[in-house]
Structure 1
Amino acid sequence: MVDSRKSAQAKQQRRNRDGTYADEGKTSSIPTGDVLERFEQNQQSNTGGAPVETYETGVKRMQELDQKLIDIANREYSERKFGPDDEGYRVESGLYVSREEFEKLPELDRDRYIAWGNDYMDGNEDAWNDPQQMSELASEAAEDGDAEVYLTNPELTYTDDMDYSFGEYLESKGCDPQSAEEGANMALQGHPDLELTGNTYPQVWPTDADNNHRRAKLFYLGGSKGWRVTFSDGRGDVNNTVIDYKKSDMGSDYYDQTNTAREAFKTAFDWVDGGNKKKKH
């Protein structure tokens, strides 16, 4: 894999086995001679648009593809593209490409990349142009305990580089600070231009210093009373709203605190971001 600087995405991940390739239990002969020529003549139907090539040429192409996917992963993370229910392919230790982007590749190239990226091609080089064999290799490689490339739910780490430390404030109000951070991570999806800061209560600021007309402050009301979100236009407070505590049937205070925090932060992010987007036009 191509070396790259790790971003805030680089965290230990839980494996989502449901998204890995299914092993169909099929076998196929290795294409050689006139068989390889037929692969070239019928490339679209046999390889789904992926090129028929030597393994050596394919490795060079995978190295180039690897860097492109890393660039996409960094861009998508900077855009805060991922949400809590989204799936992505881990393409580099701690870096993720959205399922939408990765699956734009021909299926054979996806399988090639997964098998190659997981070091599963040693002794299997002759299978490079065989879609069925590569599918089986990719499935086996993704299920390996040492796999580097597989389909999973990327962990949201958007708050990692933000300047805040309101843990004691939340604990004094009966809220687990980790649940608030998790809720904020979820709510930050699609909001790349906002900063979460504060050393007591959370505050939301636009990252664009020349366009910071709207801001928001969040106050935990204690116990199961939810949050109050106060809106400011840069000159003073103009309005506020209360986000009621979201009690579920899960039987977990942490789960309920996280969902309540998610709604509170989403309310703040939507209001601040929406106002500043209007100012840009």
Structure 2
Amino acid sequence: MQQQPQLLHAQADLRATPGKLVLSMASTPEELREVQRLRYKVFIETMGLSALARADRLDCDEFDEHCDHLIVRDANSLEVVGTYRLLSAARAHKLGRMYSEGEFDLSRLNVIRSRIVEAGRACIHPDYRGGSVIMLLWSGLAEYMRRERCDFLAGCASISLADGGHNAVAVYRQLIQRHLAPSEYRVTPHLPFPYTKLDPAQNVQVPALLKGYMRSGAWICGEPAWDPDFESADLFLLMPLANLDARYARHYGVAA
């Protein structure tokens, strides 16, 4: 596996909140394995996805070696407690696809592909979900996008199907009322989630990460895909950086 390059510029590649959290970019194979171990703990063990269990306890795929990986560490224990996987437009072009194309037909986005960073595998340790970790990750993401000269963020957001899919239906129906993408940015799932055949849950529970995307100005680009491996309904999201409002711009380090 090739070494992951350090892509944030010098004054941004290491940031710390007082006495606790440090943001950096994975730069060695061992750091990548730390990322994969955290993802396994959160995505496989915590979610109880025994069908995806591995003896090495790593969540990994063929995209990892082509992506950059933001990491947040606890400054005291040095444990990796948060991560975000980023695929630049240049590397997506070299690969010939983005990760999301395994679930969606993205042909309508061809005209803006050179301006898209794809983000995925957002993962935070259960003991560190108070908000500081995701803010650091978003700060690093904004810096990365400036470096890559990209002005669109794309990726999938997952909704658990643990309740039979009723909450996923309710979330989708609620969010498209205000956050549906313009028609020129609509995508089509390869394996659609049959949301029209299920009743929506009465109490809508929007996942925290998805809620954050919506507050930041992201669009939902069409109907959800069904991911049977991770037992989730996935929404493809696209966020123009211009949609970030002033509050989030200040938090993420982007000019408002």
Q: TM-score range by the shorter chain?
A: under 0.3
Which TM-score applies when normalising by structure 1?
0.26
Q: Which structure's residues are more often strand, by fraction?
A: 2
Is the radius of gyration larger for structure 1 or structure 2?
1
